[in-house]
Amino acid sequence: MDMSLIKKLRLSLSIIIGKLVRFGLKTTGRSATALPGNIALRIEPDLLKIVNERCKKKVIVTGTNGKTTTNNLIAHILGSNFKNVLSNLRGANMPQGIASSFIENKKDEYDWGVFEVDEGSFTRIIRDIEPDYIVVTNFFRDQLDRYGEIENTVSMVYETIKPLNTSLILNADDPLVSKFKNLNKSNIFYGIKKNKFSSKNEKIVETRNCPSCNSYIDYEYFNYGQLGSYNCKECGFKNPYYDYYIENINYKNNKYCFDINTDKETFKDTCFEYEGIYNIYNCCAAFTFSCEIGIEPSKIIHRMENFDYKLGRMEEIKFRDKIIKIVLTKNPIGLTEVIKSISHDKRRKAILFILNDNPADGQDISWIWDAGLSKFKNIENLKKIYCSGKRAEDIALRIEYAHIPTEIIKIDDDMQESIKEAVHEDVEIAYILPTYTAVFETRDMVLNLTHGK
């Protein structure tokens, strides 16, 4: 039989089986973000190459934190200018996640492919997908049992990019990312200038050594983690010049507003509904990429300000007279920044932690002890803390060591019961902080409650 016919038949079979699996999962109320693609890839191992051929242009977003938000923001912005955009929007960032998004939204041609890619899958995916742009957000310790030390992750991504013909959108404030300028690609840098939330000291700084000469590196200030202003006195390694940057950040009405700059213009009082300095970095990355491909800045800002996100990343759900906010926490820097963000919220509140140790979460949960929880004791109007998930006792112990009175801590490894209790507290807002494998289950449980089930 003709080889091209065999290939067509194999592709058709992979799509049909993938769609059937997706249908079965959906009808039983389960997520279909990875399994359909996983099975389809077994039938057609070149499925990602076919995705590559069908996308006229491609951008890949990688790094430790902020991938899902940045990826969704970019896809949302592109949606205003392009009719056909393919993207893995639900956080499934391995090969099977991209394949599943193709099965769900199969077309013969796309204007853009926008793909979030897990650092551990970066080399495998780059083998089949040739990106025109790569956005690198940041590098932090994450799931040490999967990735190993941070140097391994940075080196793996760096070496994979080396032979590519691509443009890089780089976070200038992370020395581990800005070192990628040495790859001599077309480099575009973004960052955040010193602001009222910057600090002189930071508990979690992933590198104190210069990525260029390994000497001690000086930091003038930190925006969060090791992201800030740095300078090596030995070799002169320092923040690159910003092509795009954010400044004058303010927190008002439970959201952040700021000025965003290109080399020609300043756009004042841009507001983003999702809290945290890390989300402002995500905005800056999406803005930078979108400007670079020629979208009008005012149109980009309009899309960012109207971004609606439903994936458990600072997602707000209204329940009776209160707000339920679901925030994914999966590594030390993420938990640290979420606690900082909650400390700005003056409303009467409850917090529910859900800590799992499934393989996708990382089975080593020692990371909770690396998180900086010094701001915890400063949280005002905190009425109750619930601890749940497979490792409920561990997160409760960690919180107790943050000098929180034990009488306001309740442990219950039954997620559903904990969620019910937390959202029925006499508060204005209930924060729910699940690890990765609990996010979608948590969201479904909360939505069932809001629908009276």
Strands 55-62 and 133-136: parallel
Q: Do 301 and 292 touch, CB atoms closer than 8 A? A: no
Distances (CA, A) of 25 to 18, 121, 219, 223: 11, 24, 49, 42
Which residues line the annotated binding site for Zn(2+)? 210, 213, 232, 235
Alpha-carbon distance of 329 to 25, in angstroms, equals: 26
Cα angle 154, 157, 162; round to 5: 120
Which residues line the annotated binding site? 210, 213, 232, 235
Q: Is 183 left (phi over 0), alpha (psi -120 to 50) or beta?
A: alpha
Token pair for residue 416?
């559903």
Catalytic one of 218, 269, 364, 414? 364
Closest listed residue to residue 183, CA positions, set 171, 210, 165, 206: 165
Q: Is 225 left (phi over 0), alpha (psi -120 to 50) or beta?
A: left
Q: Give the N- to C-terminal CA distance of the chain in Å, as an integer.
A: 55
**DSSP classification of residue 254:** T
Q: Do 311 and 91 touch, CB atoms closer than 8 A? A: yes
Phi, psi (rounded to 5 degrees) for 223? -90, -40
Closest listed residue to residue 169, CA positions, set 160, 155, 154, 180: 180
Residues forming a β-bridge with 349:
382, 429
Residues forming a β-bridge with 110:
55
Strands 255-261 and 244-252: antiparallel
145 as an active site residue: the answer is no
Alpha-carbon distance of 293 to 348, in angstroms, equals: 44
Residues noted as catalytic: 364
